[in-house]
Structures are given as structure tokens and as C-alpha cells.
Amino acid sequence: MTLVKTTANLIAVLAMSCFLVPATWGQTAAQPPAPAQAPKASHKKKPTAAAQGAKPKQTAKPDAKAQEKADAKPDVVAGKRDPFVPLVNDKKPSGPPLPPGKAGLVIATVRVDGTVKAASGMLAVVTNPDQRTYFIREGDRLYDGDVEKIGLDGVTFKENSKDAFGKPVERLVTKRIYPSAGEQQ
């Protein structure tokens, strides 16, 4: 029985030493060396590296692309999906970018804010979903149609689109400043 206990104790000591020795080596290596006696300060200043003609040290600047890659979080890591990323994408699929200005206004998304009678004709004040304001006139070309008529109560657009079979379809869309019940703006 004593032989069994001694063997078990010896194995336990060897196992402990396998884990403790590397830990103590790491601790001793991490300790700073003991400070040596500081030399007495002299009244003469040492010349700096720039005064001696040596080039100053340059600090390494992090690469911007490498930083972006480090900041980006992948959705799939090692074949597993992040459980906190929603399954349904709330972002609308974006098509090709729209041209700037009036040419980028989509009739379905335009809101008529007001109309103005000017000396040169009627003007309409419209906004897009980004809350940008535009002034349009009769005959102006928009992304998917033209401005047909501007009245005191709203604007009539001629919308050009295609049906399911690819056949071009034109339709008149009237957007009013104050839509009545059941009418879409």
C-alpha cells in the first residue's frame, strides 16, 4: 500500500512541476532587471541624435486597409454563423445609382410640397425620400417619366415603365399637395 501511495505522490509532483515550472520561468523573465546605481548627473548636456547627424526614428504607421480589415467583423467564422446577426436583411436592395439632380427623381417616391404660379409658368416644389427639395417645371425629364402638367392643387406626371413581359407602358400619375382619403401621395 505504501508503494502505491508513494507512486501516486511522485506522479502528482511530476504533473505539478510540468505546469508550475513554465509559469515560474515566464514570471522571472517578465520581471525588470534590478536597477543599477544611477550615474551622477553631470552639468554637460549630451548631444541629441539630430545634433549628431543621425536620422530620427520613424514610428510605423498602421496601414489603413489593414485597419479596415481588422475592424470588419465577418458574418461567418469557421463555418458558424454569428447568432446575433438578424436572418432578415432590413436594407433595401440598391440598384444602380441614380443620376444627380432632377434626372434622378423617381415618380413613385416624389412628394409634392407645393406649387407656385410664376411669370414663366407654373413651378412645383417636390422632395425625394432623402428630404432634398427640387423645383420642377412642366416638361422636365425625371428618372422614369416627365412632368406633364402642374396645377394649383398638384402635379400630373407621365410615368414610363415596363410590364411583366417587357412591353413599354405609359401611365398618368397625379400627385396632389393635400391628398384626399384613400389616395396615395
Give SS3 for 146.
strand
- Regions of the chain with pLDDT less than 50: none
Domain count, the chain: 1
Instruction: With respect to residue 172, please indicate whether it lies within any of the assigned structural domains.
Output: yes
Give the pLDDT confidence score for residue 178 in this predicted structure.
85
Give the pLDDT confidence score for residue 72 in this predicted structure.
52
Instruction: With respect to residue 182, please indicate whether it lies within any of the assigned structural domains.
Output: no
d(CA 169, CA 144): 11
Instruction: With respect to residue 95, please indicate whether it lies within any of the assigned structural domains.
Output: no
Full domain range(s) for residue 131: 102-176
Give the pLDDT confidence score for residue 123 in this predicted structure.
94
- 139 close to 127: Cβ distance less than 8 angstroms: no
Instruction: With respect to residue 155, please indicate whether it lies within any of the assigned structural domains.
Output: yes
Instruction: With respect to residue 19, please indicate whether it lies within any of the assigned structural domains.
Output: no
Give the pLDDT confidence score for residue 167 in this predicted structure.
93
What CATH number did the domain enclosing 154 receive? 2.30.30.830
Instruction: With respect to residue 183, please indicate whether it lies within any of the assigned structural domains.
Output: no
Task: List all residues 6 or more positions away from 158 whose beta carbon is below 8 Å from its beta carbon.
Answer: 145, 146, 148, 170, 171, 172, 173
On the CB side of 162, how many CA atoms lie within 13 Å of its CA? 4
What's the grid cell of residue 35?
A: 536597477
Instruction: With respect to residue 89, please indicate whether it lies within any of the assigned structural domains.
Output: no
Instruction: With respect to residue 127, please indicate whether it lies within any of the assigned structural domains.
Output: yes
- 156 close to 171: Cβ distance less than 8 angstroms: no
